[in-house]
Each structure stands twice: as structure tokens, then as C-alpha cells.
Amino acid sequence: MFSYLIANHVTLQGKQTVPCTFFAAETHACFSFRAANRLDQTMNPDAESFVFSRSFPVHRTPMLSNLFAYIEDLKIRTAYGMLRRIKRVKEADPRPSFYPIVLMLHLDEGREPLIERQSLIAFSEWIRHGTPSFTMSVMVERCESQDTEKYLAELDKCLKTQIGESCINVHTLLVTYRDSNDLSETTSAVIQCTEIGALIPNTLVVNFPQFENFQSRKNYNDVALREFWKKIVTYDKKCLAICKGELWRIKPKAELTVDIWWVVEDDDILLLFMYLITNWRKFVDAKVRLFPVISDHWTQEAEAKIVEAINDRVAHSWIVAELSIERIEEDAVALYKGLRRNQNAVDLPPTTTTEEETTPMAKKHSGAKQLNARMQEKSAHSDLVFVNIPKWSSESEGSQRKFFHFLQSLTDRFNLMVLFRPPSLEFNIKKPEKSAREAVVL
């Protein structure tokens, strides 16, 4: 039995109201949206719920009614137990902790929407053992000339089929928008307002942006795609995973090679995801190689300390992989540091460069190209590549276009990749006294 959840407006931070329509379908998970709403109102009575449920009447006998009531009560009790346990764990450990709560975002205007959604589901399957909740939000344009309600019903049926063939429970959320120019605010509303009880998504999973030509302005005219990415690029409060290629086609095999490129920063989010992924059945027997990337300008003594710290962090992450530290020019590493500090330019040591290398466009992407060249040298024949990308700034004009150019330079000639951008708050994997696995998998 399914019920549709409908809302006419979404409030942004209690001030701005964005007109849109939500359609959500319950799935066979540990608790339903309806139970989660009751939990949310019970735990936080001051919060305003933006979802209103409407159930279709079903004729039941008294015995069946009692059975359904018992099952509904059991769902709520189970949900209460989960939320209380999460609350106890978070209150007991004052240090920042992170376990992915996934919100998959898909714009239903892609060239192959079924394949794109399947890649998002495939990635979510890889991290299912450490993720308590999955939600997929599909954004559809409401056109007057088309029968939108009929299309939404067909899309909802298609989503149920795709999710039913997977091994995860996903709550689906269909969102309609009337104008592409308002899609940015609608996307922002979905990111900020989507939650299941106390489980608020902290990880956004999206497909790689498919523009025909990143460099040409005349081909950069897909208004819906640009508006969809406007908030995602600069929304740094949540972790971002970008899936490139048909990830669902990867099959488990003995000679499967997985490469992890980690430009060493202050957080361990990439290592956390790699722990979950490499323990998934598809990658248990795979050959995993970890390439921490550091600058080549350190002295021998300083580099020894950095290498020791990297080995310690990798040991705490419980990743079983071949470790090979890569030293690269300061430009590539400084790009990450500069963007993280919201700077448009970074201070680099004096070097001898040609006039072409000092042009603004070459300066912005030289680091990404250098890293891509090293990745092609080591991982050209790998089946799957993971890499972290820097935190992006919204201060400079055209940051969205720069972000797309950076992605193109970094992923050039790679067909199957997953890119991770950590949130603004830094999380570190700490090795507790009792059990290290509980620190990673809740």
C-alpha cells in the first residue's frame, strides 16, 4: 500500500516561500514518511512540517484493521529506537562524527534518465552498510501542454521498479517546477527541507554535468542544468558525491582494480567512503590502490612527518590498500588550499614560466591538468577511480562555470569516476578504544 505526500509550498529558513509540488512514495523501509512525520512533530513540536499525507481508503475487516494498526505501531516503535540510539551516540561523543545520510538529486531532463538514476542507485548500494537512510528526489518540469500527472504516475512506477531491483530501501520524492529560472531555488528548498524524522541528509549524490562543450559559451545554454547546479556547486554544508559514467555496469571480478586519489587535506571524508565501498561485496576481492598526493616542495624532515601522519590516518580508516604516496608540483595542491580559503589566487613560490602559462585560464586549471596527467600515468587501465575535489567558493563571479571547467580538466579521458567534495565542517576518523568499526559504521 502506497500513499502520496503532497505539498504546495516549501519555506526557506522561515522567510522565503517557493511554489512547488512534492510527490513522495513510501517504500518498505524501517519506517514510513508518515511515521517519520509523527516522530518529527513529537520530538520537535515547534517545527512546521511541510508534508501532508493523503491515504486512499481501503476496505478492511476488524481483524485486518487490528493487524495493520499493530504493524504501524511496530514501525513507529522501531523508528523511535533508531532515533534514540542515534541521539545517544551523538551526545556521548563530543567529537564531530560523520555517517552518510544520502539524498540523491536527479534532474529529469538528461539524455538517458534511466541510466543516470541507475548510476546513483549503484553508488548508494556500495555504501549501504554505513548509511541509515536513502532518499531520491527527481525534479520534473510541469508543462501546461503535457499531461504531467500521467507522466508523474509513470515515473513513480518506473522508480519503484528500479529501486525494487536494487538492494537498498529508498524513499522517493518527485518535485515539479514550473519555470527553469526558479529551479535553483527549488533545488535549494529540496536540499534544506528533505528529512526523515531526525535523519537529515548530509550527503548529496548527483550525476556528472553533461554539457556538450564546457569551453564554448554558445553550448552553455541549458538553463535548467545551470540552475540545477547553481546551488549544488556552492552549497558547502553537505558532502557532495559526483558520479561519472555508468557505474552500475561494473561487475565483480578477481582482477578488478580500484584507484583512490587523495589530495591530502584536513578531513578524512574520502577515507570514510572508501572504507564503506571497499567492504562492499563487489569490491571485497578487488585490487585497491591508494595514492595520497602531497606537494613536492617540503623539506626531507617535514615530508617524513607528513608521511607518518598519512600512514596513521590510513591505518585508522581500516582501508586495506596498496599505499603509494605521490609528490606533485605545488600548483595542484595549492589550488585545493586556495579554493578552500575562498581565494581566487594563491601565493606560489617563484618559478620560471612562459607567458602562456601565466594567462588567467591556464593559471586556474593548470593544477587540475597536472593532477589529471599523473592520474592518467598511474590509473589509465583502472576499472574505477575515486578522487576528492576542493571546496568551492561562491564569492567570485562565474564560479559555476569555473567549477565545470575544473571538473572537465580533472576527469579528462576517464569514463568511470566518483568525485567527493567534503563539507565545510571538517571531520576526522578517530580510532576509539573499544571498537573501531563502530566509529565508521553506525
Q: Tell me what the mean pLDDT of segment 394-401 comes to.
A: 60
pLDDT, tens digit, 9 for 90 and up, residues 400-424: 778 888 888 999 999 999 999 988 7
What is residue 147's predicted lDDT score, i.e. its pLDDT?
A: 78
Identify the pLDDT of residue 381. Answer: 93
Instruction: With 0.85 as the threshold, say if the pTM is over it.
Output: no
Mean predicted lDDT score pLDDT of the chain? 73
Nine-digit cell string for 186:
527549488
Res. 46: pLDDT tops 60: no
Q: Is 384 helix (H, G, I), strand (E, B) or coil?
A: strand
CA geometry: angle 194, 403, 15, nearest 5 deg: 35
Band of residue 102 on the pLDDT scale cut at 50, 70, 90? very high
Confidence of residue 52 (pLDDT cuts 50, 70, 90): very low
pLDDT for the residue numbered 364 = 52
Query: What pLDDT was estimated at residue 359?
Result: 45
Q: Which range, 145-149, 265-269, 385-389, 428-432, has the best average confidence (pLDDT)?
A: 385-389
Q: Which residue has the higher pLDDT, 69 or 164?
A: 164
The pLDDT of residue 239 is 92
Query: Span 4-242: which CATH code?
Result: 3.40.50.620
pLDDT at 43: 40
pLDDT for residue 243 is more than 90 = yes
pLDDT at position 357 is 44
pLDDT reading at 135 higher than 60? yes
What residues have CB less than 8 Å from 258, skipping those under 6 apart? Answer: 277, 278, 283, 286, 287, 288, 289, 382, 383, 384, 385, 386
Residue 384 in grid coordinates: 574505477
Residue that wins the pLDDT comparison between 145 and 411: 411
**pLDDT at residue 377 in the model:** 95
Q: How far apart are CA 46 and CA 56, in angstroms?
A: 28
What is the reported pLDDT for 77? 76
Is residue 429 predicted with pLDDT exceeding 60? Answer: no
Domain limits, CATH 3.40.50.620, in the chain: 4-242, 250-440
Burial class of residue 428 (count of CB atoms within 10 Å of its CB; 0-12, 13-18, 19+)? middle
User: Would you tell me which CATH number, out of the four given (1.10.287.70, 3.40.50.620, 1.10.10.10, 3.30.200.190), belongs to the domain 250-440?
Assistant: 3.40.50.620
pLDDT of 130 > 90? The answer is no
Dist. CA 139–CA 194, nearest whole Å = 13
Q: Is the pLDDT assigned to residue 56 strictly greater than 80?
A: no
Between 357 and 155, name the one with better pLDDT. Answer: 155
pLDDT of 88 over the 80 cut: no
What pLDDT is recorded for position 10?
Answer: 35
pLDDT tens digit string along 307-362?
A: 898 989 888 888 889 999 999 888 778 777 655 443 333 333 333 334 444 444 45
Return the bridge partners of 24, or none.
5, 173
User: Which of the listed ranges 143-152, 153-162, 266-275 does the model predict with the highest average pLDDT?
Assistant: 153-162
Question: Residues 391-400: what's their mean pLDDT?
Answer: 62
What confidence score (pLDDT) does residue 372 get?
A: 94
State yes or no: pLDDT of 248 exceeds 70.
Answer: yes
